[in-house]
Structure 1
């Protein structure tokens, strides 16, 4: 997939929020020749019947999943499936040598036991998981460039890790002091109906949930281990807020010394200097979720509280873009040797 060659892309799970966002991005990606959509729940329909806003796109039938057919007609496969599904599909596609990027959580941990403990489902074998590369591009781009299977990060871990890892790699914070307070819009729960995301339950309310047991907690901790080689336990509390898209993480940590904000900002500037999708805010200006909606950006604001000797980092993303589909395409670009921002130069929507 080099030079002027265009490719055929398959999206398995095209009728979820992550899947349909992939279709939106891929439709205008300059390297994409054909998008092939698969859906177990809507097989036999067209994507336009499920999502009328896509009426202008070329007719996109929703096909039932057939591994042999997918392998024969795909140059790259994205799986945007519920937890517990993709690990049954991707190992079979790998036998055909088809590159895969998984947007579910199935392949994010090198140990199947960790996944099974936090997700309550089975996953791939330990030997297969060792072949998977975790796809946080700003930190693991060299491994991504050589990968055949990418585990796309979760939305909360993307926002939290991008705001936290420069502090850890710079060795300026006390590891057991890390607190991550996170807020997400309801699209993070997916498109399936549930009482917890019902309009009447969510509107005019903010609620914490899965305190101490959220499945993204070990994913953030695994990223810390990938960068520092240390086992660190964090406090992570997610909240549901009455908006559709967006995640805001407020990260607190105690400083090891008396580092100034100049020193902390320098860590972030040095780390993200050539990273097109991380934008650092000027001092004293903190990002809002509305300022990244519809884009693949992660915006970061930093403050040092000298009274408590803590650093506070605000990190915001669009959970469906940088937290899912946009980051998946970013990973594909790196795998393919293209410019990292190919097909992703969306300006955020505002207001």
Structure 2
């Protein structure tokens, strides 16, 4: 049995990790930390877990974690993870970080987009970007995983096959993405309150969203050249879900069948990737699941391909992919504990 700890267990990504692990057949939660709710049962904070997970929340305690855990999920705010992860690494536990602190190949990129020094660049070099379908072989032997962001997972996976096949121009890629409100985390910020979000929709952080740098890092690796993208996120009145619509100019006279073959070949055998033919994704088809649905349409008039992709931002975009990473790291069936279909309703 894998002994798992969750730090930041009462945030949205943290509690989703707890919920998934509570049903995992070969993992058990042996430590859960929350600065705000230390001393309380997690099921008192989230009553949906009564009788399912009643562990008492603690402050972060490295000695206890070392004794009790084989792997730790750090669902902490950006900047906080890199303060605790060096001690966790020295304690010999495997680490899956859900913040942005260990997602980068170059600390200078992190510092540019996060506006702060990284502090532990040596550990950053040891971390592996945990997009499972692209970095599976590296994840198997990793001790630190930088679990990808939600927008990044949805966007990278929509464009990777096309760049790998050299099917699109690399200079004019546009990503228009829309996320549910849980993407902002559990916050009291007025912008994310019910009355501000319901029956409303808005763009934000145009040309400055941090996930842009992750998308560019991974797409550049696939393309073998520097890729810059125009990325615009939007907030929509959903609890869960991301829908990304990506636009790229084609390098040839491709048909819908040609594009389908590129995607089907690239993701052959990938359980969690559903390439749709003659259909487009919807967020309610993936909500509550670890699936990504990808559809597309060739615009022959403009010689452009439009790719639509959908994930659950809390599942494939955070906690579900984190557990998928854990499964790979410990040699389990990758689908273990996360093979369920979506909620739909």
TM-score range, shorter chain: over 0.9
Q: Could you report, residue by residue, the CA deviation over 1:292-316 in whole angstroms, capped at 9, with x for unpaired residues?
A: 1100000010110000000011000
- 2:78 maps to 83
Mapped contact 1:110–1:126 kept (Cα < 8 A): no
TM superposition score normalised by structure 2: 0.98
Question: In the alignment, is residue 158 of structure 1 matched against residue 164 of structure 2?
Answer: no
Question: In the alignment, is residue 272 of structure 1 matched against residue 267 of structure 2?
Answer: yes
Mapped contact 2:30–2:69 kept (Cα < 8 A): no
Mapped contact 2:163–2:223 kept (Cα < 8 A): yes
Aligned with 1:282: secondary structure? coil
Aligned length: 345
Unmatched runs of 5 consecutive residues or more in structure 2: none
Among 170, 173, 180, which residue is 2:168 paired with?
Answer: 173
Q: What is the distance in 1 between the residues matched to 2:253 and 2:167?
A: 9
- Report which stretch shifted further, 317-326 or 53-62: 53-62
Q: What is the distance in 2 between the residues matched to 1:158 and 1:31?
A: 26
Mapped contact 1:26–1:35 kept (Cα < 8 A): no
Mapped contact 2:43–2:53 kept (Cα < 8 A): no
Aligned with 1:130: secondary structure? helix
Shift of 1:166: 0.4
Ranges of 4+ aligned residues in structure 1 off by more than 6 Å: none
Among 293, 300, 307, which residue is 1:299 paired with?
Answer: 293
Shift of 1:226: 2.2
TM superposition score normalised by structure 1: 0.96
- 1:192 maps to 187
Aligned with 1:63: secondary structure? coil
- 2:340 maps to 346
Distance change in 2, residues 1:58/1:153 (3 Å): closer
- 2:122 maps to 127
Question: In the alignment, is residue 290 of structure 1 matched against residue 275 of structure 2?
Answer: no
Q: What is the distance in 2 between the residues matched to 1:24 and 1:187?
A: 16
Distance change in 2, residues 1:58/1:157 (3 Å): closer
Among 328, 331, 341, which residue is 2:325 paired with?
Answer: 331
- 2:215 maps to 220
- 2:96 maps to 101
Shift of 1:258: 1.3
Q: What is the distance in 2 between the residues matched to 1:249 and 1:273?
A: 22
Question: In the alignment, is residue 312 of structure 1 matched against residue 301 of structure 2?
Answer: no
Q: Could you report, residue by residue, the CA deviation over 1:220-259 in whole angstroms, capped at 9, with x for unpaired residues?
A: 0001122223111100000000110000000000011112
- 1:41 maps to 36
Aligned with 2:171: secondary structure? helix
- 2:237 maps to 242
Shift of 1:266: 0.8
Shift of 1:211: 0.4
Q: What is the distance in 1 between the residues matched to 2:261 and 2:205?
A: 35
Aligned Cα root-mean-square deviation (Å): 1.1
Distance change in 2, residues 1:164/1:29 (3 Å): same
Shift of 1:119: 1.7
Q: What is the distance in 2 between the residues matched to 1:66 and 1:122?
A: 25
